[in-house]
Structures are given as structure tokens and as C-alpha cells.
Structure 1
Amino acid sequence: MENEFSVTLQRVGGWIKLAGESRIRDLLYAYDDLHRGHSYPWVALAPTRPQKSLIPSCLVRLLLVVNSFASSVNARNTVVVHRLLSQNHEVEIVETNRRGHAIRFAQDAARRGLDAVVAFGGDGTLNEVATGLAGTTTALAVLPGGSTNVFARTIGVANDPVVATNGLLAGLQEDRIEPIGLGRVNGRFFCFHVGIGFDAAVVAHVERHASLKRWLGHPLFIWSSAMTWARGYDRSRSQFAIDDLSTGQRLPGLFTVVLNTGPYTYLGNRPLDLAPDARLQRGLTAVTFSSLRLPTMGAALMSAVRGRSVETVGDVTEWSPANHLHISAADDDIRIPFQVDGDYLGDTETLDIDYVEDAVRLVWPGSASEVDL
């Protein structure tokens, strides 16, 4: 029954997604010069009434990386965002079309000495841009385009892309660019968390129905969580062991989240905060579940919704800093699934996690006047 339902939903979602993609390409790529930051009269979707302009103290060279597959990205807000950024800055625009594409775009921008790369997509797009920029002087800027936008909301970015663009422009004008630390797992950077075990299995289930994310949003995650808990993940035994290389502590686990900042995610407008003390520039915080029994999961969910540490729940352990971790499969027949900033990266036998100080320069939002679509 589940398979038939999934196939039908995937077909419908795929048809709708293809229609949206062609509309974006019609608007963004009608003129090749758009990639060089030029504006054209056909950009008529932006507001026409007079607006307060944020005049920068100097010209900034930007690369706008757009993921048109992201849930909240569409042709209209992409054109408006590009126009706003191009009013006073030199802007190039590129569109991703496969996994890892944004990493390459960001690396190229850093090699060419651009001032900042703007990630316009979901948390996965942001992660790729941050990974490509880590260790360089090119700054990272964030615009919300996904279904949840965890990191963007964490740093105070408005959830509307156009309002967020004005905040970004204000941040550039006010020179609100500061380095932040990032987590790193098996060489891959993460901005807000890495999920290991059950959490990653849920994300894998969601990605198997990726064409539905734009239209179902959070209900898809709830459905995937229920399906994974019921029959998609082995809850009968520990799946991995976590070794804290700094303290020598060793814990068995079924589900672990290592946070660079909180919250873990959002349920609508409500933050789901597994570790309220996890914040940027404080190092990593680890939360490990040794049981996935319904009472444990239910109590942890209620604590997280209320903004209380889940450490008070039985079978859950929190510790910080957790800046040097080694995670290994509990048995030879077990592979450990893991996800980074909401993107499933597969499964493995071991994971090495560390914290990198001042890994990337981040553009924080400044004060901005609101602009309506």
C-alpha cells in the first residue's frame, strides 16, 4: 500500500516540479548577460513603487547560487532577489542542477577573489556553499529558499527571501561580516548539525520522496519519521558506539545529533531545541539516544518543544564540548547512516567529527526596510 501511494505522489510531484523549473529557466536564462549581473526592462515582477535604497559604502562582487529545486525558490522571487542585489553591487548568478554543484561554484568564486557567495536555497545548498568557502576569505551569505531554513533562521535571517535580501544588503553596508566555527565530519563541513543513525534514516526516506517536499513540507517529515520508526530502522540493538577522544567517554547509541548551533530543527514556527545551550562559537554539543522507545521519544519531543534540555529524559545523554568524536559501527554487519545539515550522505563504518574555529566568514543580517512582493 505504501509503495503504490508513494509512486503516485512521486509522479504528481515530478510533473509539477518540471513545470516550475521550466518557468525559472525561461525567466533567468532568456539573456546570457544576466550571469554578468546586468538588469533588463523585462524584470517587471519586482515592486514598482519607490523604495528606500541601501547604498553600500563600496561595490561588492557577489555570486548568487540558486537552487531552483528548493521548496521556496520560484521564478518570481529569484528575479526580485537578483534585481535587489544588482542595484548597487556586481552580481553573477548561477543555478545548481546536481548534488555538489554549489561546492564547485563556491570554490571557483573564492579562487577568483569574489567578496561573497549568496546561497539561495535550502540548508543543503547552504552547506555546500559553506564547504566550498571554508578556509578562504570569500564570505558566506544566506537567503532562505528551503522548507525549513534552520541555519538562516538561527542567525536572524527573515524567512521571506525578499525581506532577507534587504537584511543581507544592510549587513554588507554595515560590514557585519564575522568568522564562525563549523563542525566537520569525515572531511565534510556542517553549519548546524550532523545526524547519525535514526535521524539520518528518516532523512533518507524523505529524499526518496524528494519531489514531494515542495508541496507537503513538514507532513512529509512526520510521515517519514513514523514509517522509519515502524519498519525502516533496527531499534532492537545499539547501532554504533561514540568515543569522545578528549575525555575518553564511550557511549552506545541508536541516534545521535552533533550540533554546531541550535535549534535542531523547526516544527512550523516553533523551534525544536534538543540542546538549548548549543550556540555558534561555543564548540560542538552531542545528544545521544540509547533507546528509541515511544516513551523516550515522546518525552524528548516535549522537552525540545518547550526549549528544555532533553538530558533530563532517561536514555538520553548530552555533553559539551564534543569537539573530537569517533563513531564506529557496533557490529560488522552494521552500516551507520548519516546526514549533514539535512542532506543524506549515505552510510559508513566509521565517522570522525571535529570542530574548526573561524572556518568561514559569515555575513550577518543588518537592519532593513521591508519590501513586499
Structure 2
Amino acid sequence: MRALLVANPAATTTNRRVRDVMVGALASTLKVDLAETTRRGHAREFGVQATTDGYDLVVALGGDGTVNEVVNGMLDGGPGPHVPTLAVVPGGSTNVFSRALGRSRDPVEAVGEILESWRAGRVRRVSLGTAAARTPDEPDRWTPHRWFVFTAGMGFDADVIARIEEQRARGRRSTGALYVQTGTRTFLTSRDRRHPPIRLEVPGEAPVDGLFLCLVSNVSPWTYLGSRPIDPSPHASFETGLDVFALQRTGSLRMIDHLRRAMSAQPDVRGRGVHRWHDLPDLTLACSRPQRWELDGDHLGEAVGLRLRHVAAALDVVA
């Protein structure tokens, strides 16, 4: 059996010694090739290579952005039996997808769990989502779709992610405190919160206007603040369609209450201006002015519309 280990050397919680230990452990069971990324988009190229060259297993070592790129490469030609199985080793600051699969937060322990499951044949098929955008430059044309493994977002959350990425490019480390500071500052200064520009359309229902935040989830929780889950869509899962959590104009105190409820032991965010859907096959977002958007925690620029779809049984992953 052949495995391709796609590693991001810049991942937050790993180093070369850890990668060497992982390669040695994987080599006890598999014929392992190591591919290290050097730029954004490189992991996608390795994902394409893995499918084209007929690898049996792809192990993604990095954060959720690395996983997203690998999956988009593996599924470049669409799902099917020709696509390798995916395993994920946490190497980023949040690792939402890895945690959703039940992996240990420790990368070395996670490799041991993956090998145990691989030897026992524990593989599960999960659903994913796709997103196509209409950009400000070409508002009448949908871009080719991209895959996402756990979330897509437009509005406030994408604004926060964009600002975090700007600070990381200047050398700041991604931490829970940085997310809290950036999120608070973005919320208090956002023009879009005061004049929400997003419209959400679900087939068979009346459109909802005036949204400043729209989160589309394929798994629960949506994200982590350190070790604390943030769970606005607690019923989302790999076995159902897409879940949506959206907010209309909201004051500071109400937003704090929403966050408190999303972080509680039994999360259930409700109230005025809160809109939730469960198990959707597709939905569309439209904006009266360009909005930032993100997939799996990576900022992808601005769009004036998004089209999101659920794809059942899209990918085999090591359970």
C-alpha cells in the first residue's frame, strides 16, 4: 500500500523532528512518500498527484487550510473509487476537521490512531460541500466550484479571518487571544453589521434579507477557541446536508449572549435576528455590495454571490 504524506512545514504545531517521527511510523505499515509544501496552493497540486498516481492513502499534516487544498486536489476530477482515502494529522492552530474525525490533538498520537484504524480497515465515507462564487469583476458568471470539508462563510467571519491572515503575514502568531481581539474590533467597527448586505435564498422558502453573517457547516462544532468549541449549528454532521447559521443586525450585548450560548455545554443559539436551517441540499447567497468569503478558515477574497451545495458520500477518510 502506498501513502503520500503532504506536510506543511509552516504548520503551527509541528517541526521537522515530528515529521521524521511520523514518516518512520507510517513506513512501518505503508510505502511512504513525503511531499512538503512551499507556497499556498501547493498542497492542492500534491492532492491531484496522489489521485493521478494511484496512491492508496493521502495523509495531510497541517492546519485546516492544508486539508482543504489536499481535498480539492484529490477531488479535482470528482468523487469516485479512483480517489485515495484521506487521513488527517493536526498541525494547525484549530484543526476543526481533524477533531471532528476524533483524532488526538497530539500529532504523533494521531498518527498512531490512523495506523491502528488503517490496519483494522476502519474507513468512513463523509459528505462534503462545494462553493461557487460570483466575483465583483465578473458578477454574471459563477466561478468553478471549490470543495469545503467543514465550513463556508460570508460576511463577518470572513472579515475576521482576512484580518487574522494580514496579521499573520506580519509575523503575529495565530492564537485564541488574537481571534478574540480581532473579532471584537471587527464587530465594533463593521459598517456591514449596521447595514447588513447579504440575502439568503433556500429553495422553497421566502428569502431572508439583511444578514451580516452566514455560516454554512458540514460538521459540528464550527470552530475552536483554544480547546473550547464554538457550536452555532450543533446538529450538523457528515451524514446530513448543510446546516446554516445566519445573523441579522445585532447589538453588542446580544452578540455576547449568542457567543456564550454557542460555547455552552448544550449549545442552542436562538432569538431575534437568528436564522438556522438543518440538512439543506443547497442554498444561495447574494450581496448588495461585495463581501469577503471563506472556506475552511481560509479567506478567498470578495464576492457578490455564493452558491453552496451538499455532496453526499464524497470522500473516504480514515475513521
Cα deviation for residue 272 of structure 1 reads 1.0
Partner of 1:5: none
The answer (yes or no) to whether the contact 1:244–1:325 under 8 Å persists in 2 is yes
Cα offsets for 1:180-209 (capped at 9, x unmatched): 110111111111111110000000000001
For 2:95, the equivalent position in structure 1 comes to 149
Q: Which residue of 2 aligns with 1:277?
A: 235
CA distance in 2, matches of 1:98, 1:361: 26
Residue 166 of structure 2, aligned match among 178, 199, 208: 208
Q: Counting helix residues as a fraction of each chain, which structure ranks higher?
A: 1
Does the 8 Å contact 1:71/1:213 carry over to 2?
no
Whether contact under 8 Å (1:120, 1:144) holds in the other structure is yes
- Cα distance in 1 for partners of 2:70, 2:191 equals 31
Q: Distance in 2 between matches of 1:77 and 1:232?
A: 41
In structure 2, the residue matched to 1:164 is: 110
Q: 1:150-177 deviations in whole A, cap 9, x for unaligned?
A: 1111111000000000001011101111
Whichever residue aligns with residue 306 of structure 2, its letter is L
Match for residue 314 of structure 2?
A: 359
In the alignment of these two chains, the number of paired residues is 301
In structure 1, distance between residues paired with 2:250 and 2:74 = 37
Residue aligning to 1:259:
217
Q: Deviations over 1:294-325 (max 9, x none)?
A: 12211111111114454423211111122211
Pairs within 5 Å for 1:1-373: 60-134=1-75, 135-136=79-80, 137-186=83-132, 187-211=145-169, 215-245=173-203, 247-252=204-209, 253-329=211-287, 331=288, 334-364=289-319
Identify which range, 288-297 or 227-236, moves more after superposition. 227-236
SS of the aligned residue for 2:215 comes to strand
Structure 2 residue runs without a partner (length 5+): 133-144
Report how far residue 213 of structure 1 moved: 7.6
- Whether contact under 8 Å (1:194, 1:338) holds in the other structure is yes
Q: Distance in 2 between matches of 1:345 and 1:210?
A: 16
Structure richer in strand, relative to its length: 2
Instruction: Measure, in 1, the Cα distance between the counterparts of 2:281 and 2:171.
Output: 33
Contact 1:133 1:139 in 2 (8 A): no
Query: The residue matched to 2:300 in structure 1 has which SS?
Result: strand
Give 1:122 deviation, angstroms.
0.1
**Residue identity in the other structure for 1:188:** R
State the SS of the aligned residue for 1:335: strand
Q: CA RMSD in A?
A: 1.5
Question: What residue identity is the alignment partner of 2:154?
Answer: I
Over 3 Å counting, the alpha-carbon distance change for 1:321 and 1:65 in structure 2 is same
8 Å CA contact retained: 1:116, 1:138? yes
Compared CA separation, residues 294 and 232, structure 1 to 2 (3 A) = closer
Whole-Å separation in 2 of the counterparts to 1:256 and 1:339? 11
Whole-angstrom distance in 2 between the partners of 1:214 and 1:169:
34
Unaligned runs of 5+ in 1: 1-59, 365-373
CA distance in structure 2 between the aligned counterparts of 1:62 and 1:132, rounded to whole angstroms: 15
Contact 1:296 1:315 in 2 (8 A): no
Conserved in 2, the CA contact under 8 Å of 1:124 and 1:342? yes
1:342-365 CA distance string (max 9 Å, x none): 11011111100000111111111x
Contact 1:299–1:313 (8 Å) recurs in 2: no
Aligned AA (1:74) = N
Letter in 1 for 2:103: V
Identity %: 33
Give the superposition deviation at 1:248.
2.7
SS at match of 1:184: strand
Give the TM-score normalised by structure 1: 0.78
| Greater Cα offset, 346-355 or 67-76 | 67-76
